[in-house]
Amino acid sequence: MAIFKGAGVAIVTPMTETKEINYEKLGELIEEQIAGGTDAIIICGTTGESSTLTHEEHLEAIRYTIEKVNHRIPVVAGTGSNCTETAIYLSQEAEKYGADGLLLVSPYYNKATQKGLIAHYTSIANSVSIPIILYNIQSRTGVNIAPETIAYLYKNVENIVGVKEASGNISQVAKIMQLTDGKIDLYSGNDDQVIPLLALGGCGVISVLSNIAPRQTHDMAMKFLEGDVAGAREIQLKAIPLIEALFCEVNPIPVKAALNLMGKEVGPLRPPLTEMEPANQQRLAAAMKEFGIELA
Contact 203, 187 (CB under 8 A): yes
- Residues whose CB falls within 8 Å of the CB of residue 73, separated by 6 or more in sequence, listed in order: 4, 34, 38, 39, 40, 41
Active site residues: 135, 164
User: Whole-angstrom Cα distance, residue 229 to residue 148?
Assistant: 30
Cα–Cα distance, 137 to 254 (Å, whole number)? 19
Among candidate residues 141, 136, 187, 180, the one with its CA nearest the CA of residue 157: 180
Instruction: Report which of 174, 175, 203, 168 is spatially closest to residue 189, judged by C-alpha positions.
Output: 168
Local structure of 42: helix, strand or coil: strand
Cα–Cα distances in angstroms (integers) from residue 74 to residues 102, 103, 154, in the given order: 11, 12, 21
> Mind spelling out the 3-state secondary structure of 195-235?
HHHHHCCCCEEEECHHHCCHHHHHHHHHHHHCCCHHHHHHH
What type of residue sits at position 17?
A: E
Distance of CA 78 to the CA centre of its chain: 8
Cα angle: 106, vertex 248, 263; to 5 degrees: 100
The residues facing 41 across adjacent strands are: 9, 75
Half-sphere exposure of residue 223, counting CA atoms within 13 Å on the CB side? 17
H or E stretch covering 67: helix 55-69
